[in-house]
Every structure is written in structure tokens, then in C-alpha cells.
Structure 1
Amino acid sequence: MSPDGTDTSARHEWPPWEVFVRSKAGLDHKHCGSLHAADAKLAVQMARDVYTRRQEGVSVWVVRSDQIVASDPSDKSMYFDPMEDKVYRHPTFYELPKSVDHM
């Protein structure tokens, strides 16, 4: 509280950061939580301390929560329905080399 009785905690609160950790080389990063930090450097340090204590991570990403942009769930069909009118995206459009036998 300030001397005039107003709440000052909101003015001094650090912004939230989302933390993503890659557990092994070659795997994707997974969202593992959030934290509050003054800047990106401190956010990485805090994320390392909080989310990789047992040496399970090989890479840490931090992103300010207010910088994440997401699609609207009501737009699901626009983003995720098959694109039947774009045959070049179908896997049958491409011929695989004979040396590729695992697809």
C-alpha cells in the first residue's frame, strides 16, 4: 500500500512468462508451466532452476504470455480440415526415391 492507501502491488508485478522444455535432443519442446520474471534473461534462469532441477532438459524456451497468439477454436475447420482442393498437399502427389523405404 502506498501512503495514500492505494494498492501498488499491480504496478510492480513482473510479467508472466510461459516455459517450454525439450527433454532430449530431437524431441519437441513441451509447455511445462509459467513463472513471473522481470526480463527474458531472468526468466530463462528461473525456468532452469524450477523446471530442470533433475537435469532432464536440454533446451529451455521462455515466451512472455502476452506475446502468444492463438487461433480461435471456432475457426477449427479453417485450420485443420483436410484441403481436398489442394491435391499437391496429398502424400500421393510425390514420388519417393527408392532409397526411402521407411515412409
Structure 2
Amino acid sequence: MSNPTETHSKETPWPLWEVFVRSSRGLSHVHAGSLHAPDAVMALRNARDLYTRRNEGVSIWVVPADAISSSDPDSKGSFFESPQGKDYRHATYYTKSEGVKHL
């Protein structure tokens, strides 16, 4: 009979899942945390147990962490700046018309 600790160390680790919880209808899902699970079904069950213990949510999303792409926080200025020649995307580009009230 094999030693359980030896078998576990040879297996591949469970993937990391990111958990998003919606606290009530009409609100957006918010990142609640991360967990390891072998598949999506187990990730949902574990997320429910970890992040919604006191009826805190109405919906849970679990997403494999390797499926999420994000921008680099260190380059936030250049990443979110408007491209050259696209000034029309900003309200300050336009002038207020004489006949328009309450603008």
C-alpha cells in the first residue's frame, strides 16, 4: 500500500480559482478572494462555504485564475490615457451651443 503523502506530492496541484460574489440583486459582482479546487463545481461549493456563510450573497462566479488578464497597475497612466488624435472622446473637445440649456 502506498503512502498517501507520497501520492499527493506526485500529483499536480489543484488550479487556483478567483471568486466573485454579488451581495444582492442589481449590484455588480465583487472579487471576494481566491481558492484552490480540482474543478468548477467544487470551486463553487467551496466558494459558497468560504465567502457566503451568513446568506451574504445571491450569486457566485468562479473563474480560473489563469483565464484572467489584467493591466499592469504600474503603467496605469499611459494605459488609460487617450490616444493621440482622439480628443473628440472627451467632453472638453466640444463647445456649448447657444440654444442648449442646462448643459
Displacement of 1:81 in angstroms is 2.1
Show the counterpart of 2:42.
42
**Percent of aligned pairs with the same amino acid:** 54
Matching of residues 72-83 of structure 1 within 5 Å: 72-82=72-82
Shift of 1:8: 5.0
Asked if residue 90 in structure 1 is aligned to residue 87 in structure 2, the reply is: no
Report the equivalent of 2:59. Answer: 59
- Unaligned runs of 5+ residues in structure 2 are 95-101
Gap regions ≥5 residues in structure 1: 94-100
Task: Report the alpha carbon displacement of residue 28 of structure 1 after superposing the two structures with TM.
Answer: 1.5
The one-letter code of the counterpart of 1:28 is S
Distance 2:37 2:8 in 1: 18
- State how far apart, in whole Å, the 2-side matches of 1:91 and 1:28 are: 27
The aligned residue for residue 18 of structure 1 is: 18
Which 4+ residue blocks in structure 1 deviate beyond 4 angstroms? none
Partner of 1:31 in structure 2? 31
The structure with the larger Rg is: 2
Once superposed, what is the RMSD of the aligned Cα atoms? 3.0
Q: CA deviation at 1:38?
A: 0.7
Q: Secondary structure at the match of 2:11?
A: helix
With normalisation by structure 2, the TM-score equals: 0.68
- TM (norm. structure 1) is 0.68
**1:2-26 CA-partner distances (Å, limit 9, x unpaired):** 88xx785262421111111011112
Q: Give the distance between the partners of 1:57 and 1:41, measured in 2 at CA.
A: 17
Output the CA distance in 2 between the equivalents of 1:10 and 1:32: 31
* Aligned CA distance change for structure 1 residues 38 and 25 (closer, same or farther; 3 Å): same
